[in-house]
Amino acid sequence: MKNKLQENSIKQQLPKDYISVAQLNAMYKCGEFYRQRYVKGKPFKSNIRMVIGNAVHLYAKKLIQGELKAPEKTLQETGQGLYLLSRDELSELLLDEVLTEREEDFDYALKKIMTPEEWKDKIATLDYMTERVSIYCELYKDEIYPRFKDTTPIAELDANTQLDTGDGYPITIFGKLDIVMPGVGFRDLKVMGKKPAAGVADASLQFTSYAYWWYKKQGVIPEIYQDTIVGGKKKIYAMEPIKTVRTFEHLQAYEKRLEVFIRAILNKSYLPAGPDNWWCGPGKCDFAGECMYVCNPETIKEVA
């Protein structure tokens, strides 16, 4: 970056004094979504799938770190003997209820993620969550963990590196690696409702960001693997690992993306998603009801 960037200008407009993959993806998906979520600080609605995914990730972390023994029974049967707490507070409340039956916490948490119409089905939801987490954890223990356990893996490692902005005030790029295989590369666990489309891992900005961090720290480009649990309605299974490759050209393009992201933030250029994108509109975006770019009765009244 050739232009002088002032430290205060950057730090005041980056929501957490760093850039994360989640921030980048939000900006590329929709600038207005980014503005609402990170600049204005409005909460992003969680959902049952996210809660379940967080629980399985934490189970994987605890298993690798030796903080628990691989259970021989399901979560329902182990009861209070196994705690699966997510890094997300909402997931903690829900999953704590799954194991400890603290109904007051579950009631409070469930209201945060469910509509009034869904509220009556909370018992069915709780049963569904418990069943899914149990099955996914068993799959992870039996089919995914054996793939790399002999490499003495490291679970959940912060990936912090610096982007030189050319003005003496480098920007922190932050991420969190699921599993590190020392001297080799990293693995990332995905819990999905259906089989991912071909090429998704190759296009993942998250993987490119982690490869960038690895290269900055190690001087080499890492091996990258995606482990996937598919939780379909008819079939639940663990896919074969997907290996994806990054090159120097990928890392150079990533740096360019970071530069454009920073300039957009400094200039307050929050380009909205196109109205034909599937994620734009009521029922698809949490902020659609108050978005000036979405054609709905409320926003039309405001514009008029």
Helix, strand or coil, per DSSP, at residue 97 = helix
pLDDT value of residue 273: 92
Give the pLDDT confidence score for residue 17 in this predicted structure.
76
* pLDDT value for 242: 96
Q: How far apart are CA 159 and CA 157, in angstroms?
A: 6
Backbone torsion region of residue 284, taken as left when φ is above 0, otherwise alpha when ψ lies between -120 and 50, otherwise beta: alpha
Decide: helix, strand or coil at residue 275.
Answer: coil
pLDDT at position 32 = 94
Q: Residue 183 has what DSSP assignment?
A: T
DSSP letters of 46-75?
--HHHHHHHHHHHHHHHHHTTSSPPPSS-H
User: How is residue 84 written in tokens?
Assistant: 């699966």
- Label residue 284 exposed, middle or buried (CB < 10 Å: 0-12, 13-18, 19+): exposed
Q: What is the pTM of this model?
A: 0.76
Asked if 189 and 57 count as a contact pair (C-beta separation under 8 A), the reply is yes
Task: Tell me which residues of the chain have a pLDDT lower than 50.
Answer: 1-5, 7, 69-91, 93-94, 97-105, 299-304
For the chain, first and last CA: distance in Å?
41
Cα gap 139→280, rounded to integer Å: 35
| Per-residue confidence (pLDDT) for residue 246, from 0 to 100 | 97
Report pLDDT for 107: 55
Q: Which two tokens stand for residue 43?
A: 């909460």
